[in-house]
Amino acid sequence: MAMNLRLSPEQAKALKRAAAEDGISMQEAALRAIDAYTSRRRNKLLKGIEKVKTQDAELLQRLAK
């Protein structure tokens, strides 16, 4: 899927600098940032679910009956 990403001049400069330091394109740097963001959100959700399952195990057992 193609999309346009509008960056401020400061963001564009920072992305260009970071990509150059890593020896990758700006597109690859943006894709890696998106992947990191989305996986971090998913991991946070899964940890939250596990916490509820652990802390509220007794309540969940009663509700399941």
Label residue 60 by pLDDT band (50, 70, 90). confident
User: Could you tell me if residue 34 is inside a domain?
Assistant: yes
CA distances (Å), origin 28, targets 41, 50, 54, 64? 20, 33, 39, 46
Residue 14 lies in a domain: no
How many whole angstroms from its chain centre is CA 53? 23
Q: Residue 8 domain-assigned?
A: no
On whether residue 55 sits in a domain, the answer given is yes
Per the CB < 8 A criterion, the answer to whether 29 and 18 are in contact is yes
Average pLDDT over the chain reads 91
Does residue 46 form part of some domain?
Answer: yes
Assess if residue 49 is contained within a domain: yes
Task: For 24, list phi and psi in degrees, rounded to 5.
Answer: -130, 170
Residue 17 located in a structural domain: no
Question: What's the rounded Cα separation, in Å, for the pair 7 and 28?
Answer: 15
Domain residues for 55?
24-64
Structural domain includes residue 4:
no
Q: What is the pLDDT of residue 44?
A: 83
Q: Are 22 and 29 in contact (CB under 8 A)?
A: yes
Instruction: Note the pTM of the prediction, 2 decimals.
Output: 0.62
